[in-house]
């Protein structure tokens, strides 16, 4: 994992680098998944078109670098305001939820859908998923108890 041009990196590049580094250090499964990815993702700031970060998944390496206003041909692009990106990287929101709420915009060629899906999977915070599963199980249990008491009456 490398932040290219670390001395002059934008806040967005630094934030994404730290997030990916911490995520992969915390999960051997996600580190394995990341090594299987090949491709580039561009994360663009909604507030300033001149701020964009390229994340290159190169097998055993991941490079994060500022692009400025440049683009990477054929690469999926995620665009969002700094707060939405911060919510993803801090685990306060899932990237998919923000896309559905139109707080993050995603553009990609259909051929890049599997790669993009893999990257979004890396960004998903596992603890949130466990809480969601516990909540779902709790709701199922509550419905089952209500049905049992209702059928007995």
List, for residues 92-143, the tens digit of each pLDDT value.
Answer: 888 888 888 889 999 999 999 999 989 988 887 665 445 555 666 666 665 6
Q: What percent of the chain has pLDDT over 70?
A: 81
pLDDT at 97: 85
Residue 141 belongs to some domain of the structure: no
Any domain includes 135:
no
Range of the domain at 63: 2-125
| pTM of the full structure | 0.77
Higher pLDDT, 67 or 124: 67
Count up the domains in the chain and report the number. Answer: 1
pLDDT at 91 over 80: no
Strand partners, 54: 42, 65
Which residue has 């001395």 as its token pair? 7
What mean pLDDT, rounded, does the chain reach?
Answer: 85
Q: Is residue 63 part of a domain?
A: yes
Q: Give the residue from 72, 74, 53 showing the smallest Cα distance to 62.
A: 53
Check residue 144 and give its pLDDT.
59
Q: In what order do the strands lie in the sheet with 2-3?
A: 2-3, 62-66, 52-58, 38-45, 77-80, 104-107
Comparing 53-57, 89-93, 107-111, which segment has the lowest mean pLDDT?
Answer: 89-93
Q: What pLDDT, on the 0 to 100 scale, is given for residue 145?
A: 57
Instruction: Say what the pLDDT of residue 4 is.
Output: 95
CATH number at residue 25: 3.30.1050.10
Asked if residue 138 is part of any domain, the answer here is no
Contact 85, 12 (CB under 8 A): yes
């Amino acid at each position: 994992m490398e932040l290219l041009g670390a001395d002059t990196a934008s806040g967005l590049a630094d934030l994404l680098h730290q997030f990916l580094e911490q995520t992969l250090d915390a999960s051997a499964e996600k580190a394995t998944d990341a090594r299987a990815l090949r491709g580039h993702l561009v994360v663009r700031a909604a507030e300033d078109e001149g701020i964009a970060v390229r994340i290159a998944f190169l097998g055993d390496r991941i490079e994060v670098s500022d692009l400025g206003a440049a683009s990477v041909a054929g690469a999926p692009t995620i665009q969002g305001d700094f707060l939405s990106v911060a919510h993803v990287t801090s685990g306060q929101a899932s990237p998919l939820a923000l896309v559905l709420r139109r707080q993050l915009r995603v553009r990609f060629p259909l051929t890049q859908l599997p790669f993009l899906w893999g990257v979004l999977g890396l960004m998903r915070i596992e603890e949130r998923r466990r809480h969601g599963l516990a909540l779902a199980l709790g709701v199922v249990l509550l419905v089952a108890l209500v049905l049992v008491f209702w059928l007995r009456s």
